[in-house]
Structure 1
Amino acid sequence: MKAAVGDQIVIESMHLDEPRRIGTIVALRHEDGSPPYVVRWEGQEHETLVFPGPDARIVARHPA
């Protein structure tokens, strides 16, 4: 998984009663775009360090 600052990360819920989480990648820890990522989640004002699992996908800000 590779990402760039400004890309979105989408994490699908593992449970029916939980919504998917969508956030914007605001910083990278590795120059090659590999995880972990610093993410600001929609509807929240804090940032978290994210190590994406198999339920996550990246949506490029500027598709190639």
Structure 2
Amino acid sequence: MKAAVGDRLIVEATRGTSTRHEGFIMQVDHPDGSPPYLVRWLDTERETLVFPGPDARVVQAGRADLAPATSATHLGPSGTAPAAWTSSA
């Protein structure tokens, strides 16, 4: 798995959990983009260090077709959607 700052990490629901978790990758320490990643979760806005498992996938920044619907819980501190949700298309 390889990622860059601004990409999204999606962890699918497992072991009886009913929702998947989505967050933005805030920090990547390895030059090759390998884990671990510092991730800010959309539902809680908490940041955690993540070593993704087989139930996780990375969505590259700029993939507007995969962006979640903008809502109050997904807005950045300035009240706008993160730049990774927008595209120039």
User: Does the alignment reach a TM-score above 0.5?
Assistant: yes
Percent identity of equivalent pairs: 54
TM-score, normalised to structure 1, is: 0.88
TM-score, normalised to structure 2, is: 0.65
Q: Which runs of 5+ in 2 are unaligned?
A: 64-89
The structure having more radius of gyration, on CA atoms, is 2
Shift of 1:17: 4.4
State the partner residue of 1:40: 40
1:47 maps to amino acid: E
Q: Which has the higher contact order (CA 8 A, sep 6+)?
A: 1
- 1:61, 1:16 → 2: CA distance? 29
State the partner residue of 1:53: 53
The list of structure 1 runs, each at least 4 consecutive aligned residues, that deviate by more than 3 angstroms after superposition, is none
Q: State how many pairs are aligned.
A: 63
- 2:34, 2:62 → 1: CA distance? 17
Q: Which runs of 5+ in 1 are unaligned?
A: none
2:3 maps to amino acid: A
Instruction: Pick the structure with more helix per residue.
Output: 2
